[in-house]
Structure 1
Amino acid sequence: MITIDRVGKTKGRRTILRDVSFEARPGRVTGFLGPNGAGKTSTIRILLGLDRPGGGRALVDGRPYAAISRPLTVVGALLDGSGAHRARSARAHLRWVAASNGIAGRRVDEVLEIVGLTDDASRRTGRFSLGMSRRLGLAAALLGDPPVLVLDEPVNGLDPGGIRWMRSFLRDSAGQGRTVLLSSHLMGELAEIADDVVVIDKGAVVAQGTLAGVTGDHATLEDAFFALTGSERSW
């Protein structure tokens, strides 16, 4: 389970996050929704120990990320890009990541098959499309077969077939009991996947609950978001 408890962050005089609190539970896809700049990525970076909060706690199964030994076996994370050196092949990159957490090399070919990159395993990642890079990043997140997945805008760069595959993969992952936290600014996409929704705007959570609960009497999640935030339909 993921617990975000009263997390705050400032940068100079600017407030990035204000008392952000929510949970993502096992067996469910939690959609973290908001426009670009709302605070989604900042929250995720704090959860993964990449940034320090100004206050509050971000925990995975009751522990801060930095306290987890062999973190890839607990949390699989996909942020912007694959993290691979452009001159390395996909297989070489994954072998290096696996070795860093004591994961058997045979797992590399397993995750390449899961994400559909087996035929491209020997290609240099610098020649990958954006969609292929996202798949490679997901493969790295899956190396430790973690019970928690944290994915920031995972469908960016995917073609329609890739988006359908990602939807199915995330639903299957939750069905297997994993905790899935998925951030996105694509409201229609989240409505297709999420069990629970956390809506963030200008660094503060403005609504959270089940998808049906947050949508309420509105026809769509998009309608609910703009009603909740008063934002203009410009993104």
Structure 2
Amino acid sequence: MIRIDRVSRPRILHEVSFEARPGRVTGFLGPNGAGKTSTVRILLGLDRASTGTATINSQPYAALPRPLTVVGALLDGSGAHRARTARAHLRWLAASNALPRARVGEVLETVGLTEAAGRRAGRFSLGMSRRLGLAAALLGDPPVLVLDEPFNGLDPAGILWMREFLSRCAAEGRTVLLSSHLLDFPVDDVVVINRGRVAAHGTLAEVQGDHGSLEDAFLALTGAASW
């Protein structure tokens, strides 16, 4: 469970509140610059809010003793040093959270990078870097996933795979929070943010309302088209 409660940050966020629940994909949607990444960074303890709280399973991220076993996060890039191989990057992450080394091979297979495990991260395409970042997020088999623009850099096959992966994670009972300015992915609940404020939140049907589609609702709420 993710809970954002009246989170504010000067000139960026204004009393942002919503929940992401287990067994559901929550789409955190908004145009570029709306405050999505700032909210995610506060949730993950990378930035501080001036007011409000952000918790994962009722705890702030900093209080989690082995965070990779609770929440897996995908932000910009893979997080790997350019000179490290994919396998080496994941091994040190696993060691940092006392995870078995065997888990490295499992997540590489899950994201389709087994054959590239010995390649240096600096030689990865953008799409491969996103897959490596996702592998890192999955290392601890966490019940919560926080994914910021996970479709960036993926080819059509990769986008299809990601959609299926998200649905599978929700079916397994995980909490999935996905921030994006795109709308074409499976979603159960929707939070629309615009100019640092929550413009709408609820189930997909509730947010769509009488607009007919999520894209039409998004346009009406933000005045911005999704791409």
TM-score band w.r.t. shorter chain: over 0.9
CA displacement, residues 49-81 of structure 1 (integer Å, 9 cap, x when unaligned) = 000001000000110000000100000000000
**Is 1:6 the counterpart of 2:10 in the alignment?**
no
**Given the alignment of the two structures, is residue 85 of structure 1 paired with residue 81 of structure 2, yes or no?**
yes
Structure 2, unaligned runs of 5 or more: none
Contact 2:218/2:224, CA 8 A, preserved across alignment: no
One-letter amino acid of the counterpart of residue 8, structure 1: S
Letter in 1 for 2:99: I
Hey, what does 2:59 align to over in structure 1? Answer: 63
Q: Which residue of 1 is the match for residue 209 of structure 2? A: 216
Q: Separation in 2 of the partners of 1:25 and 1:164?
A: 24
The residue aligned with 1:203 is 196
Q: Say if 1:105 and 1:234 are closer, same or farther in 2 by CA, change over 3 A.
A: closer
Which residue type is aligned with residue 182 of structure 1? L
Give the 5 Å matches for 1:66-145: 66-145=62-141
Runs of 4+ in 1 over 3 A off after TM superposition: 232-235
Distance in structure 2 (CA, Å) of the matches to 1:233 and 1:150:
24
Distance 1:67 1:228 in 2: 36
Q: Which residue of 1 aligns with 2:162?
A: 166
Aligned sequence identity (%)? 74
Equivalent position of 2:13 in the other structure: 17
* Cα distance in structure 2, aligned partners of 1:227 and 1:142: 36
Structure 1 residue ranges without an equivalent (≥5): none
Residue aligned with 1:193, SS: coil
Q: Report the CA distance between 1:127 and its aligned residue.
A: 0.6
Alpha-carbon RMSD across the aligned residues, in angstroms, is: 1.0
Equivalent-residue separation in structure 1 for 2:206 and 2:163 (angstroms): 21
- For residues 4 and 126 of structure 1, the distance between their equivalents in structure 2, rounded to whole angstroms, comes to 35
Instruction: Decide whether aligned partners of structure 1 residues 234 and 108 sit closer, same or farther in structure 2, where only a CA change above 3 A counts.
Output: closer
**Which residue matches 1:26?**
22
Amino acid corresponding to residue 18 of structure 2 in structure 1: F
Partner amino acid, structure 2, of 1:204: R
User: In structure 1, how many angstroms separate the alpha carbons of the residues matched to 2:198 and 2:131?
Assistant: 30
1:93-132 residue CA offsets vs partner (Å, 9 max, x unmatched): 0001111111110000000000000000001111100000
Residue from 217, 220, 224 that aligns with 1:227: 220
Q: 1:234, 1:171 → 2: CA distance?
A: 21
